[in-house]
């Protein structure tokens, strides 16, 4: 009969670990002894296991004046900062959400979680949570009439955070509808750059590309044509990697640095860099300046082609268009703009061409419209490519 012996490795493993632990202690001891002469402080002062931070006194909790129901059955209490909210569970469970999952979890018979004594702590601000509850309690007509952008952004953020899909979709679409209204009544007309940046934050959070593009184009327009300081916009653009907006901000910074020549000095304008700009950025801006000058020479010497169908005298229109283009490029209104201000020169060029075409009977109306459209397309291409001038190798 064959006998089988089962080997148990546990005793030997314990022995090896004990020997390893003892050897490690000896090594660490020798290292500490060899380094002790380098220290000039007593051993008790060399290391501090922890720092005793001052303990803040707990703030007194207050009940929210609008959203604290004095009831326990069917309600759940939340603590936001130092404010207590007592919310009806039906509102929190009317659609699948993070609150619905939490309220469906089984609890112990003696559990007090969700009561005023043991509220559920949320990391939001009081203003955010109060606006979120307003959206849950408000009747439909009040929701549709709301135009306060800060409140709507708070609702969209928390609806996304707590997975209220229908509320999130409605709120972000309502913000978009308010933003795309005519300029005089649009919320973007009076919104600060910080507010516009927050709208972009929420649009990206809720994956609403149309709202993101709308606000981005609004900021591009404000930076280029309405003298909004680019420093207020650049942080938003860099945060989200909005390349076109970054290029516009850099371009506006470069144009603002360019100083026109004085009456005593007839030399070309010079670019004066403030002391806050480092060497690397200065070199890149100088390279962008040279690149923009080269682009302007290319634009001035090559008018865009006219795409016009149905014109009975298209060849004559093309010749007239080219002649007007070269003449407009030499206008004082065009050359008066800064050497780096290629968009300013293109704007003055467009105004000169419009005036020239109005007095040009040799061009048909179809070709005149095609010419204006060609200039607009060229300008948009320049704006889209501004970032490339600042990213070229030095």
> Model's pTM, two decimal places?
0.75
CA torsion angle 232 236 242 247 (round to 10): 20
Specify if 68 maps to a domain.
yes
What is the distance between the alpha carbons of residues 394 and 385, in angstroms, rounded to a whole number? 18
Identify whether residues 97 and 147 lie together within a single domain: no
Regarding whether 360 and 295 lie in a shared domain, the answer is yes
Per-residue confidence (pLDDT) for residue 227, from 0 to 100:
79
For residue range 200-224, what is the model confidence (pLDDT) as tens digits? Answer: 999 999 999 999 999 999 999 999 9
Residue 324 lies in a domain: yes
Q: Is the domain of 237 the same as that of 333?
A: no
Domain count of the chain? Answer: 3
Asked if residue 379 and residue 300 are part of one domain, the reply reads: yes
338 and 235 within one domain: no
- Residue 161's pLDDT is 94
Length of the chain: 394
Low-confidence residues in the chain, pLDDT < 70: 1-59, 101-114, 183-185, 259-271, 273-275, 394
The whole-number pLDDT of residue 133 equals 95
- Is there a contact between 178 and 187 (Cβ–Cβ < 8 Å)? yes
For residues 178 and 127, state if they share a domain: no
Are 147 and 205 contained in the same domain? yes
- Domain assignment present for residue 12? The answer is no
Dist. CA 236–CA 216, nearest whole Å:
10
Q: What's the rounded Cα separation, in Å, for the pair 229 and 328?
A: 30
If asked whether residues 373 and 346 sit together in one domain, one would say: yes
Q: Is residue 17 part of a domain?
A: no
Residue 270 lies in a domain: no
Do residues 315 and 224 both lie within one domain?
no
The confidence score (pLDDT) of residue 110 equals 53
Residue-level pLDDT at 360 = 78
Integer Cα distance of 267 and 95 in angstroms: 70
Does residue 131 sit in the same domain as residue 146?
no
CA 341, CA 389: separation in Å to the nearest integer? Answer: 13
Question: Whole-angstrom Cα distance, residue 43 to residue 33?
Answer: 12
- Same domain assignment for residues 255 and 288: no
Q: What is the CATH number of the domain that holds 121?
A: 3.30.710
Residue finishing a domain among 87, 120, 136: 136
Asked if the structure places residue 78 within a domain, the reply is yes
Residue 26 falls within a domain, yes or no? no
| Residue 30 within a domain | no
Give the residue numbers spanning the domain of 71: 62-105+112-136
363 and 297 belong to one structural domain: yes
């Amino acid at each position: 009969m064959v006998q089988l012996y089962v080997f148990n490795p546990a005793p030997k493993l314990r022995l090896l670990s004990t020997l390893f632990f003892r050897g490690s202690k000896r090594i660490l001891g020798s290292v500490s002894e060899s380094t002790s002469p380098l220290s000039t402080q007593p051993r008790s002062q060399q290391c501090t296991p922890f720092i005793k931070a001052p303990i803040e006194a707990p703030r007194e909790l207050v009940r929210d004046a609008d959203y604290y129901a004095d009831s326990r059955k069917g309600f759940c209490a939340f603590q936001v900062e130092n404010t207590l909210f007592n919310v009806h569970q039906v509102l929190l469970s009317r659609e699948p959400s993070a609150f619905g999952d939490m309220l469906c979890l089984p609890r112990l018979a003696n559990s007090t979680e969700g009561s005023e004594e043991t509220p559920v702590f949320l990391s939001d601000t009081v203003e955010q949570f109060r606006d979120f509850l307003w959206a849950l309690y408000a009747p439909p007509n009040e929701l549709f009439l709301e135009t306060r952008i800060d409140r709507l952004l708070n609702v969209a953020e928390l609806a996304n955070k707590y997975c209220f899909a229908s509320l999130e979709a409605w709120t972000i679409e309502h913000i978009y509808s308010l933003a795309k209204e005519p300029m005089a009544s649009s919320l973007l007309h009076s919104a600060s750059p910080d507010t516009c940046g927050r709208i972009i934050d929420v649009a990206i959070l809720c994956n609403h590309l149309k709202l993101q593009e709308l606000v981005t184009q609004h900021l591009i327009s404000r930076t280029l044509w309405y003298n909004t300081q680019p420093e207020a916009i650049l942080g938003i653009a860099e945060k989200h990697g909005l390349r076109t907006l970054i290029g516009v901000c850099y371009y506006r910074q470069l144009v603002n640095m360019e100083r026109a020549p004085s009456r005593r000095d007839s030399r070309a304008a010079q670019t004066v860099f403030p002391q806050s700009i480092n060497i690397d950025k200065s070199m890149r801006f100088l390279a962008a300046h040279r690149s923009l000058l080269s682009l302007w020479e290319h634009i001035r010497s090559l008018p865009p082609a006219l795409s016009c169908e149905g014109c009975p005298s298209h060849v004559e229109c093309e010749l007239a268009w080219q002649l007007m283009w070269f003449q407009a490029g030499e206008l004082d209104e065009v050359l008066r703009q800064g050497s780096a201000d290629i968009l300013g020169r293109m704007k003055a060029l467009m105004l000169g061409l419009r005036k020239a075409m109005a007095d040009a009977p040799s061009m048909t109306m179809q070709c005149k419209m095609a010419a204006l459209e060609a200039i607009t397309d060229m300008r948009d291409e320049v704006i889209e490519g501004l970032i490339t001038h600042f990213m070229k190798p030095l």
